[in-house]
Amino acid sequence: MALDGKTNFPGPAKLRNNVEIDSQKYDDSFQLPFEVSKSEIKGSVKYETVKKNTTIPKYLADEAAKRNINFSQILTEALKEKLEV
């Protein structure tokens, strides 16, 4: 399971409403509701990162280098804001 920083999850499904059960295959089947805390999951999930190449104007690269700006951090923050995640 990967959260990827997401916080907007669908609500829980009603029991039996969204589950199709093949009674010939699972004649003694049942549903067991359970709760999971997002904070518990988030602490155990490893966030995978990927390397992406990008092209930006030279003047921005020069100014960012002078200010020791972390490109990965800025790009990640901008993408999260743009994608609303």
Decide if 35 is inside a domain: no
Quickly tell me which residue has 């995978």 as its tokens: 48
Decide if 5 is inside a domain: no
| Tens digits of residue pLDDT in 10-25 | 776 665 655 566 666 6
Give the helix, strand, coil percentages of the chain, each rounded to 5.
35, 0, 65
Quickly tell me which residue has 């199709």 as its tokens: 20
DSSP state of 79: H
Decide if 17 is inside a domain: no
What is the domain extent for residue 79?
A: 46-83
- Looking at residue 62, its pLDDT comes to 94
- Looking at residue 47, its pLDDT comes to 72
- Percent share of the chain, pLDDT over 70: 54
Checking if the pLDDT of 4 tops 90, the result is no
Decide if 14 is inside a domain: no
Top pLDDT among 61 and 33 is at: 61
Number of domains comprising the chain: 1
Q: Return d(Cα 30, Cα 21) in angstroms, integer.
A: 9
Checking if the pLDDT of 71 tops 80, the result is yes
Q: What is the pTM of this model?
A: 0.44
Q: Return d(Cα 63, Cα 61) in angstroms, integer.
A: 6
Mean pLDDT confidence for 46-67: 89
Q: Return d(Cα 51, Cα 76) in angstroms, integer.
A: 12
